[in-house]
Structure 1
């Protein structure tokens, strides 16, 4: 077990701005940039320090060996600090899952449509994933290239992929739950997640783990190894290798196009559209009647390599850290029934058989990704004439090649009698290059503490690229499930951003902390912004303090939101994601995306009525103007209201749609709304020492969060309903519910970590409040679907066989709680689902606690 690591007055709100933050505490030894409110972490080359007494009123436990996650009670802004021991007591080897089980305001995505299911995202405080900035060792982490396109609470996500950072490489995580764009630049509206990598000078640790979901598959096998060594007398080098395999899960039931709710083949009476040949072929499909496996986790294989190193030359310290990740994943799509791909010549009809035998079985196409992700940071820091400096450069790139496999091109087969079964759809590539210069100096002014003056600048260049697919993937409508990117979709777009900042932090009197920051940014594609932040805290006594913040911020639209172009298909529909910054979008009347603007307020209190008891309560409000949202479906055909201009825009954008589908249209990102988010964060932490009977750390942490749409923009005049003379709503009830109700307003985590001698147990219970979404089979009539309040229990039991070898068994969601299934349209006689899907008994995928039920695992831990 590791010792406690403590940080005094940890507050990213008082860090030395972008690029510095609390990076210093992660990179000792040597002269470093350290916020005035932070204590430098122990020298990793020195002997280990003894565990810090959590009863010390001037120290804060960085949730390490015996804790599960608390707010850093002495900070001037709300922040949760998670130590490596806390991270290790979550069974699923996935950083998104770790954080969602430890941080109440953090919710991980359960299921994504199309390629979004291959790179799941997460969000903080009910806002967009793009509103949370991810840092590694205080440096900005690049975003994924795989944009989450389809509608839902996580639509538009293109932020950093936390799954590409191994939990075993992390020393601690600091989650700042406060607007911080004035310190870190664009994106830090909901908060900041700062991942601090291990900086040990010797030793190592690792584990192997295996687990699976209760009855839906999802077999998981993972292993990791972290090694550390000295570099000379004043340096260290850490390297971590991680590999994880996760198999498919299947949580859906019968395909409503094929069978009734009892699994019986539909008859000519129950579905008159079925032909005699269809009724003959359907029973011959693989796994009949459970033929459709679209609902569930993707299968994935992920390998991560990470390093963190530094060397102190005396006058300056050189440091570097980086990651490389390789992910290969595939997700099942809707099954194509045996008659979906056919060819008729001289009156004789033949059906495509991907397996090359008879009878024809239909096929289940899969969307596949081959992803290479890398990041590299190098820098130097030191002190010159009393000025502490940190100069660094970061390069990050995410490249995702997209394929459709086990598939067919229906038009190509009909026209030529041949079709490939695998297609290369094209490539996404997102690149970010950042240069930071940060300077800090303390100036005596007769206050209780010196004034910390921090200033610096940043240059950042972003590039987003879409590469087109192979000829078979773009012939007419392309391969089933996911057409390739056409040359008209492809392109390279870039922008640059430059910024300057100034930060002043001090204690005018002993009990009062103040921090004021201002930042000026200029972007090459939309101009300039000035933002600010003011933070204060007053300690009335050791037992009571008040703290508060007011700040402005902004988020630059990602290049993916601005330029992504592709066609999304199902067996019955084809919709084009129209690029927001395109001529085709302007044909309808949409304009280029502009930045979102935000104003944040927070007011909180810190109470310590007893030496072992800490209570923090923080209320907040976040107003976002010109928020970027994905519109609902705008129909060109097959909808309640259809528009010729939509069909014209699709043609102008160069897209060719499947001629056999019944619904076509577009979706687009636009600055569509103003929103207001209000909430409260509560953390109660108490330590019980039972002497020879052991020790327990109790934590209650909760979040109440409510987002309201305050203004919705009107659709362009070209989208006027001829029947009513009114423009259609751009954001239908479904899109509105994704913002306001699809995430639970309440999430409460209760946990206890009990330890005695060689044994420890973690018990955690999470209560998720109800959530709801409006679903529609046709974009016209909507049906409210609710996921009720749920209790999710987790348990882990640990036993140290030797000081260097331990075993753990546990379960996440031990009672196998699953969300409700999608119902039929009330009064339906033809098995129409309220979301227009094909699978009966499929779960509501906006579930905040996942769709797979319980996950049960064992783990073998080693250290040396």
Structure 2
């Protein structure tokens, strides 16, 4: 288990660094501090390319300008005010204040963006350790993530037991340090013609901190304090401590180096109910003694992590600049699995006389390094870069056993290794082009992209999947491990080229067109295109819209992954389900077909309105049609399946099988609304905003009989169709107050336990209130107190058929989570 004493020893280096920097700060003269402040205000505004971008929100606030965008367009003068597609720009301060108990980037994005969904998982195997996020209700792997404009690698772990993102291995947002963020640009529109695969729902570009001077030290502590109705107890848990330090240096006239280090420790939470003992367990005295107890653990995993980043640039001459950046994380986490009862077939009383609850363990290691050269070459501006990313995940289980090995069974197992690699090289060229009939030059951009992707899995301990001579289930409980025969190693090469032309056709009308072609070594070619435009009808009112084609190549994991997990099978009873590659002998035996790429057609139409300088509104409607959508098949099970698998394929102890399939065509329709106002109020400065997302996904065709109700539910109704975020910020002098009210829409959970037993429940919409007060104690020190979910709200209680005999009173689907109110205090020192 992760304990606080271990973490405090781990945090000691950061503490010492903070104390050293505090002492240095005390020796600074006020004049030096003022000079540094001036340097900070001058440094960021000098460049607008990814990797050295200014904080757009800060520039807009101080200079009255609209932020210059670097995502979703190749034009260099595109601002937020004249964007042709919907874009969100989140400042550093907004992200840091919204991170919450996770202290993670994805949690901050969900708090700030109504179209972004990041539900919590529990008792979900690998998903307890790597959570998936969604944009516009689409799959987690249908959003492209960039860091400083460069493609981010995906997580190595494939989530097979989760609800959200089941069967995907998308980018793990939480491997990017919060303290590294300068701003985030989120393009809510298809961008495959500009960036290639995965950008069906949109693009999230995390732009790293490039301040050329100054030091920031931040520390935060918090915990959950909640009245938990299912047990009638007041709970205090999930204690979280974090600390970070970042420092910037000026290098030459325009160069810089910014670097930082973070540490975080979070205790587990537990929101399980009182056990009622499942029907299939024998009513023996020892089993009956477990009734009314909290035998399960539903909540946050215990987590300990370290993160670091750097971002820098060096001027080689007046026209050429070398740049580099990188992020690193190491994270260890402990999740929960289902309880095994004292007299069940999954227990050896000589080892666990009172039953036991296995704990899954995850060791996540993540690294991205990129370097490049940018500048001017004649009439062309160029950016040439090399990008390397990797993610490694070691999966294990403790407090477990392999019953078939008898009393000699280990109680801790290594279940498997997972690794993902991305190596890419890019060349981007832009230049102005004079076109006949245009009053100003157009912008032409062309580029080449070559990359290699690799995915590999390694076997677990032999004892984790061995079949012993004792009666009882084989393999580690809450496992079993990945067998040597299931280990895989896959790779592919991708080459892409694009052209992009942006022009002002008249004074009030601008348009952009892009065309891209990609070749994949493993499945063929993909050509995508995009056309977007904006027409200013008046200085205050404009129409905008876009048409695009996009695609997502099947991930290497979806093509070759094979693993066995423990899941709720027929009647809700735990059973072993094996996922196999679609083109494997076993997959073909059960009717699987080779995977094809997903392809989408996106269309959007919107308006922007700014009736006054202090008030602006945007409204964008969209439709996204996805063909050949990839999902996991339903569990294929029958009375003879276990014998068939054992006799024909040598697979023992498996009661169900599934595989990836191009099963469905879907259509997602929706709209995004953002309106905001700022001005003087209540003797201070006030900012008010309302952001809302509406979307609905329906299945257009259902061409595969192997797709079940649970998978269709995952794609259509398991995500909120509406979310509203109302924010009020007030500042006067040294004080700042913020209130954020979020309405999370309803979600629906469907289980299919066979024989027509399909428990279904719709969870009602729920309101969440977040509050924060901030005090600028000194010029350098800022103190904050806050509460997330201050009114201690929970989702609807699950019905008896879904609550798993009282043990899981709340489901994981609602974005409000199931932990209750979280209170925190934060201190930040800047100098």
Question: Normalised by the size of structure 1, how large is the TM-score?
Answer: 0.84
Mean CA deviation greater in 692-701 or 163-172: 692-701
Do residues 77 (structure 1) and 97 (structure 2) align? no
Per-residue Cα deviation, 1:217-271 (whole angstroms, up to 9, x for no partner): 221111111111122343211112111112111111122327xxxxxxxxxxxx7
Deviation of 1:856 (Å): 1.2
CA distance in structure 1 between the aligned counterparts of 2:580 and 2:280, rounded to whole angstroms:
36
- Partner of 1:634, secondary structure, is coil
CA distance in structure 2 between the aligned counterparts of 1:331 and 1:652, rounded to whole angstroms:
35
Do residues 648 (structure 1) and 644 (structure 2) align? yes
CA distance in structure 2 between the aligned counterparts of 1:94 and 1:437, rounded to whole angstroms:
32
Conservation of the 8 A alpha-carbon contact between 1:517 and 1:532: yes
The size of the alignment, in residue pairs, is 759
The equivalent residue for 2:275 is 255
Mean CA deviation greater in 291-300 or 132-141: 291-300
Distance change (3 Å), C-alpha of 1:820 and 1:665: same
Structure 1 residues 219-368: aligned runs within 5 Å = 219-257=239-277, 274=282, 278-280=284-286, 283=289, 289-314=292-317, 315-340=319-344, 351-354=349-352, 360-368=353-361
Conservation of the 8 A alpha-carbon contact between 1:626 and 1:674: yes
Per-residue Cα deviation, 1:411-436 (whole angstroms, up to 9, x for no partner): 011xxx31111111120011111111
Decide which of 366, 369, 380 is 1:376's aligned counterpart.
369
- Partner of 1:351, secondary structure, is coil
- Partner of 1:737, secondary structure, is helix
CA distance in structure 2 between the aligned counterparts of 1:779 and 1:205, rounded to whole angstroms:
60
The equivalent residue for 1:553 is 550
Structure 1 residues 106-125: aligned runs within 5 Å = 106-112=116-122, 113-125=124-136
Deviation of 1:732 (Å): 2.6
Do residues 466 (structure 1) and 457 (structure 2) align? yes
Decide which of 204, 222, 225 is 2:215's aligned counterpart.
204
CA distance in structure 2 between the aligned counterparts of 1:647 and 1:318, rounded to whole angstroms:
62
Deviation of 1:323 (Å): 0.9
The equivalent residue for 2:657 is 666
Do residues 103 (structure 1) and 113 (structure 2) align? yes
Structure 1 residues 234-633: aligned runs within 5 Å = 234-257=254-277, 274=282, 278-280=284-286, 283=289, 289-314=292-317, 315-340=319-344, 351-354=349-352, 360-413=353-406, 417-446=407-436, 447-476=438-467, 477-570=474-567, 572-633=574-635
The equivalent residue for 2:824 is 857
Conservation of the 8 A alpha-carbon contact between 1:585 and 1:649: no
CA distance in structure 2 between the aligned counterparts of 1:432 and 1:23, rounded to whole angstroms:
28
Distance change (3 Å), C-alpha of 1:146 and 1:838: farther
Decide which of 143, 154, 161 is 2:154's aligned counterpart.
143
Deviation of 1:151 (Å): 5.4
Per-residue Cα deviation, 1:150-197 (whole angstroms, up to 9, x for no partner): 352321231111111122211100000000011000000000000000
Deviation of 1:863 (Å): 0.7
Mean CA deviation greater in 161-170 or 124-133: 161-170
Structure 1 gaps of 5+ residues are 11-21, 29-39, 63-70, 259-270, 344-349, 355-359, 638-642, 659-663, 716-729, 825-832
Deviation of 1:578 (Å): 1.8
Distance change (3 Å), C-alpha of 1:273 and 1:815: closer
The equivalent residue for 1:812 is 788
Conservation of the 8 A alpha-carbon contact between 2:791 and 2:821: yes
- Partner of 1:823, secondary structure, is coil
Deviation of 1:820 (Å): 2.2
- Partner of 1:688, secondary structure, is strand
CA distance in structure 1 between the aligned counterparts of 2:287 and 2:665, rounded to whole angstroms:
52
Deviation of 1:362 (Å): 1.7
Do residues 713 (structure 1) and 703 (structure 2) align? yes
The equivalent residue for 2:74 is none
CA distance in structure 2 between the aligned counterparts of 1:535 and 1:27, rounded to whole angstroms:
25
Distance change (3 Å), C-alpha of 1:2 and 1:621: farther
Deviation of 1:648 (Å): 3.3
Conservation of the 8 A alpha-carbon contact between 1:73 and 1:616: no
Conservation of the 8 A alpha-carbon contact between 1:776 and 1:834: no
- Partner of 1:88, secondary structure, is helix
Do residues 697 (structure 1) and 697 (structure 2) align? no
CA distance in structure 1 between the aligned counterparts of 2:222 and 2:519, rounded to whole angstroms:
48
Conservation of the 8 A alpha-carbon contact between 2:519 and 2:525: yes
CA distance in structure 2 between the aligned counterparts of 1:543 and 1:684, rounded to whole angstroms:
14
Mean CA deviation greater in 381-390 or 771-780: 771-780
Conservation of the 8 A alpha-carbon contact between 1:151 and 1:632: no
The equivalent residue for 1:785 is 761
Per-residue Cα deviation, 1:835-854 (whole angstroms, up to 9, x for no partner): 7x354352111112212122
Conservation of the 8 A alpha-carbon contact between 1:773 and 1:784: yes
Structure 2 gaps of 5+ residues are 1-35, 71-78, 227-234, 468-473, 568-572
How much is the aligned-residue C-alpha RMSD, in angstroms?
A: 2.6
Per-residue Cα deviation, 1:22-58 (whole angstroms, up to 9, x for no partner): 9943444xxxxxxxxxxx7489xxxx9795354x6x6
Per-residue Cα deviation, 1:737-766 (whole angstroms, up to 9, x for no partner): 222211111111100111000000111001
Deviation of 1:444 (Å): 1.7
The equivalent residue for 2:471 is none
- Partner of 1:488, secondary structure, is helix
- Partner of 2:710, secondary structure, is helix
Structure 1 residues 117-196: aligned runs within 5 Å = 117-150=128-161, 152-196=163-207
Conservation of the 8 A alpha-carbon contact between 2:313 and 2:322: yes
The equivalent residue for 2:32 is none
- Partner of 1:738, secondary structure, is helix
Do residues 25 (structure 1) and 49 (structure 2) align? yes
Conservation of the 8 A alpha-carbon contact between 1:23 and 1:137: no
Per-residue Cα deviation, 1:524-553 (whole angstroms, up to 9, x for no partner): 111001110001001122100010000001
Deviation of 1:682 (Å): 0.5
Per-residue Cα deviation, 1:661-685 (whole angstroms, up to 9, x for no partner): xxx2112211010000000010101
Per-residue Cα deviation, 1:99-137 (whole angstroms, up to 9, x for no partner): 001001001021151111111111000000001000000
